[in-house]
Amino acid sequence: MPELRKDPISDRWVIIANDRVRRPGDFVRQSVPNVPSEHPCPFCPGNEDKTPPELLAHRSGSGANQPGWSLRVVPSKYPVLRVEGDLEREGDGLFDRMEGIGAHEIVIESPEHALSMTELAESSIEQVLWAFRDRARDLRNDRRLRYVMMFKNYGEAAGAHLEHSHSQLIALPVVPKRVQEELDVAKRYYDFKERCIFCDMIRQEMKAGVRVVTETDQFLVVEPYAARFPFETWILPKKHQSHFEESGAPQLNNLAWVLKTTLRKLERSLERPPFNLLVHTAPLQDTSCPHYHWHIEIIPKLTRMAGFEMGTGFYINPTPPEESARFLRDAGLG
């Protein structure tokens, strides 16, 4: 019998079609190739002049925009938003517009032409997390910027255009609608219960266990109760924290292990699936957010009903999260 489940955080119903369970092997997916293509890569050392000048780099000794780095952050060569301009809104009858103010940055995760984040050493993944943190802290100094999306597209089917492992930041002058909805629901819950809805969910999931993929003393990895997509996976800090960029060294160190382990489990279960990874965090300028709890959402790209689901906000998920959690637990590694 199919089941309708409601996600408490987004207030969204999802059909869990549990009578036609899809196992990892049932998805028609494009595995991401694990052999590098022969195109010259603008992200490899020696090609620093193929990107705009770096905003941040981890390097020992060498000069800016020269080889010798272990991580670089550069502005996107094809930015979807730009820093220059002003924020005036303008009406046109019913419609509203403003200039596309913001920032769009690329985190080049490693000098090696790694095709997947899972090929990186934990220390390199930790560097990526530090880069997210440091760039977010810098961007919040621009008071026009209200939100920073930190994300990773892996594989062409998930929107990646270059194979050298990289992540992105987009800073926006508005809070994205889905994030605002999460904030609103979490705020209502907090006003009512004086507790964080994510903290309550973490406690409940740890007790139930059936949707848990793995955990450490600091992080919980779960398949959410009303997962929209097969193998949708969330990583949540156990201790309440609203902003990712407030994370300290012990957390980022532990998160590097958790992230690598989780991605390896997904890779092993689903044969290098394309995926999108997103950090959901509180708005940059909202310093007090006792109701919101940052977390990471990983969405493997296995199904194809995108347009329909984007049009209605109604998701049909053929894999119950209890099943995908079991597959990921059984994949070993942590």
**Residues acting as catalytic residues:** 166
Closest CA to 182 of 145, 128, 144, 236: 236
Candidate segments 50-58, 64-72, 198-206, 326-334, binder of its own copies by CB under 8 A: 198-206
Burial 11-27 (b: 16+ CB within 10 A, else e): ebebebbeeeebebeeb
12: left (phi over 0), alpha (psi -120 to 50) or beta: beta
User: What are the two backbone dihedrals, phi and then psi, of residue 164, each rounded to the nearest 5 degrees?
Assistant: -55, 125
| HSE-CB of 75 using CA atoms within 13 angstroms | 12
Query: Does residue number 64 form part of the binding site for its own copies (CB under 8 A)?
Result: no
Range 35-54, binding its own copies (CB under 8 A)? none
> How far is 174 from 169, CA to CA, in rounded Å?
14
Q: Which is nearer to its own copies, 48 or 152 (CB)?
A: 152
Strands 233-237 and 295-300: antiparallel
List 122, 316, 322, 334, residue binding its own copies (CB under 8 A): 316
Query: Does residue number 309 form part of the binding site for its own copies (CB under 8 A)?
Result: yes
Range 83-112, binding its own copies (CB under 8 A)? 85, 92-101
List 23, 178, 188, 239, residue binding its own copies (CB under 8 A): 178
Beta strand residue intervals within 109-198, DSSP E:
147-154, 166-172
Range 135-174, binding its own copies (CB under 8 A)? 149, 151, 153, 156-159, 172-174
Query: Does residue number 4 form part of the binding site for its own copies (CB under 8 A)?
Result: yes
For tokens 């990526």, what's the residue? 128
Asked if 5 and 175 touch (Cβ cutoff 8 Å), the reply is no
Asked if 152 and 31 touch (Cβ cutoff 8 Å), the reply is no
The size of the interface with its own copies (CB under 8 A), counted in residues, is: 75
| Contact code string over 222-261 relative to its own copies, x by CB under 8 A | ---xx-xx--------------------------------
Q: Which is nearer to its own copies, 20 or 39 (CB)?
A: 20
Query: Does residue number 78 form part of the binding site for its own copies (CB under 8 A)?
Result: yes
The residue type at 243: H
Q: Which is nearer to its own copies, 249 or 306 (CB)?
A: 306
List 25, 61, 143, 177, residue binding its own copies (CB under 8 A): 177
